[in-house]
Amino acid sequence: MAKKQFAVIGMGRFGSSVAGALTNLGFEVLAIDRDEQKIQDIADQVTHAVSADTTDEDALRAIGVRNFDVVVVAIGADIQASILTTLILKDLGVPRLIVKAQNELHGKVLGKIGADKVIYPERDMGLRVAHHLISPNILDYIELSDAYSIVEMKAPSQAIGRNLKQLDVRAKYKCNVLAIKSGEHMNISPYAEDIIREQDILVIVGKNEDLALLEIEFA
Ligand code: ADP
């Protein structure tokens, strides 16, 4: 199978990090920015790098951006440029369009004009940091929807040596333990009798308000 090809537009902190990470993962990555200096800085970390203003439809056509499997628009502060770029890419028929939003309203507009996925990196990172601050046992926090999330937490001391039935997270907090990570091993269908050991990591899904209680009382 051919390697997936990505184009990333906007080499700010977020865009350059995405472009570099995709390249390191072995994908072909084209980096685009209107700032020539940014292109020079990223050139040796990606497959190709070109300088262009992506609000110029002809420039995007010339680059052949519609031939890429996925295009990531990581233009941040310049909301107008982000929206225009998204609109043009959608018109050009890019197969999958992922766009970074600055705020909810920006995200709403992006969704309406056809972005396949809108991402909020600052907001999501803020959320993760906040949850980690509530309890250092919380390692990660992923929103599934407005109402449901997944938390990844270090097994709290009260859980060590006990099994899922004894902990009864389902009845106490209305949350579900999806998986137990023990080092490299991942138990993805834990049984009621499975015992939690020190250093284990629990992956738990639930409603946000139920998880909030669990994070305070259980984590
Ligand atoms: P971050 O917060 O991730 O650092 P920035 O908003 O600072 O994001 O960076 C966005 C990048 O997008 C900048 O490097 C900027 O030059 C680039 N950019 C902005 N508008 C355009 C455009 N019309 N065409 C191409 N690149 C653009």
Beta strand spans in the chain (E): 5-9, 28-33, 48-51, 70-73, 96-100, 117-119, 138-143, 148-154, 176-182, 185-187, 201-207
Average pLDDT over residues 46-72: 96
Q: Give residue 77 CA to ligand 1 midpoint distance, Å.
A: 7
Kindly report the CATH number assigned to the domain that includes residue 137.
3.30.70.1450
In this prediction, residue 65 carries a pLDDT of 94
Domain identity same for 39 and 131 = no
Which candidate, 172, 203, 198, 173, places its Cα nearest to that of 186?
203
The parent domain of residue 131 ranges over 124-217
The size of the chain, in residues, is: 219
Domain identity same for 128 and 109 = no
pLDDT over 70 (residue 189): yes
Q: Give residue 144 CA to ligand 1 midpoint distance, Å.
A: 28
Which atom of ligand 1 approaches the CA of 14 most closely? Answer: 3
In this prediction, residue 15 carries a pLDDT of 97
Which atom of ligand 1 approaches the CA of 38 most closely? Answer: 14
Domain identity same for 113 and 130 = no
Domain identity same for 172 and 102 = no
pLDDT over 80 (residue 27): yes
Q: What does the DSSP assignment read for 124-143?
A: HHHHHHHHHHH-TTEEEEEE
Average pLDDT over residues 60-80: 95
| Dist CA 77 CA 207 (whole Å) | 33
Domain identity same for 20 and 105 = yes
Domain identity same for 167 and 72 = no
pLDDT over 80 (residue 2): no
Domain identity same for 179 and 95 = no
* Boundary residue ending a domain (89, 119, 149): 119
In this prediction, residue 1 carries a pLDDT of 63
Q: Give residue 34 CA to ligand 1 midpoint distance, Å.
A: 8
Domain identity same for 138 and 182 = yes
Kindly report the CATH number assigned to the domain that includes residue 105.
3.40.50.720
Shortest-distance Cα residue to atom 9 of ligand 1: 12
In this prediction, residue 181 carries a pLDDT of 96
* Boundary residue ending a domain (69, 103, 119): 119
Domain identity same for 144 and 108 = no
With the most atoms of ligand 1 within 8 angstroms of its CB, the residue from 13, 50, 55, 75 to mutate is: 75
With the most atoms of ligand 1 within 8 angstroms of its CB, the residue from 33, 54, 83, 99 to mutate is: 33
Residue 133: band (very low, low, confident or very high) from pLDDT cuts 50, 70, 90: confident
Residues 137-179 have pLDDT tens digits of 999 999 899 899 999 999 999 999 999 999 999 999 999 999 9
Domain identity same for 175 and 128 = yes
How many domains is the chain partitioned into structurally? Answer: 2
Whole-prediction pTM value?
0.82
* Boundary residue ending a domain (92, 119, 146): 119
What are the pocket residues of ligand 1 if the criterion is a CB atom closer than 6 Å to any ligand atom?
A: 9-15, 33-35, 38, 53-55, 74-78, 81
Whether the CA torsion 66, 72, 78, 79 is positive or negative: it is positive
Domain identity same for 129 and 112 = no
In this prediction, residue 135 carries a pLDDT of 86
Domain identity same for 210 and 136 = yes
In this prediction, residue 219 carries a pLDDT of 81
> What are the tokens at 178?
């999806």
